[in-house]
């Protein structure tokens, strides 16, 4: 059983490598063209998912220190992708939230990703889609278990 699992995991890795190369070569993409670092993009995703957050919560979610978060937020704010405001319940706390431009960038990235995925999935037969759906459902279950 372990040999089968190892062979399947190796095959998944090989498929993933080909898919990543194809994505990198797929032409213009708003994420790649944004000039954002992965950490900056993660900040935007966290704000999209969780709404306005204090610097400390961002630091914890990213696994970095407050000074690093301050630098990330400064650069994102300089590009008008986020904005800071006072916490209405505690004026000592500054909240970071997506700006309209930050939300628009995430929408463009999401749309491009959905369009690319739809184009690729439309070329797959129904039986293969069933298998993919089962695999993705299994991954989702793992993620949901780990979140709780």
The Cα 139–Cα 43 span in angstroms is: 23
Q: How confident is the model at residue 124 (pLDDT cuts 50, 70, 90)?
A: very high
102 pLDDT more than 90: yes
Supply the CATH number for residue 11's domain.
Answer: 1.10.10.10
Q: Give the least confident one: 22-26, 94-98, 106-110, 114-118.
A: 22-26
* In contact, 54 and 89? CB cutoff 8 Å: no
CB burial class (10 A; 0-12, 13-18, 19+) of residue 93?
middle
Q: How confident is the model at residue 39 (pLDDT cuts 50, 70, 90)?
A: very high
The Cα 58–Cα 46 span in angstroms is: 8
DSSP classification of residue 65:
-
Q: How confident is the model at residue 92 (pLDDT cuts 50, 70, 90)?
A: confident
73 vs 93 pLDDT, higher one: 73
The Cα 76–Cα 66 span in angstroms is: 15
Domain region containing 93: 2-147
Average pLDDT, the chain: 93
pLDDT at 93: 86
Number of domains in the chain: 1
* In contact, 93 and 87? CB cutoff 8 Å: yes
Q: How confident is the model at residue 1 (pLDDT cuts 50, 70, 90)?
A: low
């Amino acid at each position: 059983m372990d040999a089968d699992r190892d062979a399947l995991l190796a095959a998944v890795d090989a498929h993933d490598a080909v898919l990543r190369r194809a994505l990198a070569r797929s032409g213009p993409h708003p994420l790649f063209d944004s000039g954002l670092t992965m950490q900056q993009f993660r900040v935007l995703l966290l704000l999209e998912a969780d709404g306005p957050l204090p610097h400390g919560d961002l630091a914890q979610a990213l696994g970095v220190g407050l000074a690093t978060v301050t630098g990330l937020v400064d650069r994102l704010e300089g590009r008008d992708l986020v904005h800071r405001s006072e916490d209405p319940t505690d004026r000592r706390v500054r909240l970071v939230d997506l700006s309209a431009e930050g939300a628009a960038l995430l929408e463009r990235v999401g749309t491009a990703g959905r369009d690319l995925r739809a184009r690729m999935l439309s070329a797959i037969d129904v039986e293969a889609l069933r298998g993919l759906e089962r695999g993705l459902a299994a991954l989702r279950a793992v993620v949901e278990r780990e979140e709780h």
